[in-house]
Amino acid sequence: MLKLPFKTFPQKFEKVTVGNPEIGELELPKYGDISPNERLFIKAANLTDIRLAAVKLAKDIAVKSGKQVIDIYNALTQGDSESLAEYLEEFVSFQDLMDDAAMQRSLVLATAVIQRLVPDWKLENTGDPNQLHPQLLTLIIEFAKNEEAGWPTSVTQVTDSEALASLRASEDLGNSTPNSEILTGEKSTGESEDTGHKKNGSVKKALETSQPG
């Protein structure tokens, strides 16, 4: 490996323990960001651009409905089913696309971070529960998202047991995205993402209000 002739060498990256003895533990270097090579890896995955997909669908609905494209775009991306009650099939399909795209990006992001330890690690390895425990994957994703966000100072610390309890509770509720912030290791915390989806409750309400009579 080539080395720069530093006058003063930079400090080594902090190592963060992610996981626990039950699901496995990894020591990940904390960059405080996603590296340029990691960003190239994510870009090369050719993930669905939700913004472009939303614009295309918004234009299609605008032609049929006469509504403003920007209003339809906002309804789609913010999960506002009531504004698109007459186009629920398109709305639900787009919400599914958003969920799939978010999951795929999370897997790619986690893979990029794991490659800090194992350069030959691939996306299919990340999704294999025999190689990576699903709950450990959740914690790695939270760690990776915090890296990408530059570790917001507002993140709240919780214990590993609280993180796992939150994860199990969300699974019981049929919600794949934990609502609580979860810890990614002894020295760090995780930040949950609020997607702003109102799909389940709002779709039901919109269906009720769109019924004749």
Q: Is the pTM of this model over 0.85?
A: no
Please name which of 54, 43, 31 lies closest in space to residue 150, comparing C-alpha atoms: 31
Per-residue pLDDT tens over the stretch 86-123: 999 999 999 999 999 999 999 999 999 999 999 999 99
> Cα–chain-centroid distance for residue 135?
14
Residues facing 24 on adjacent strands: 20
Say if residue 169's pLDDT is above 80.
no
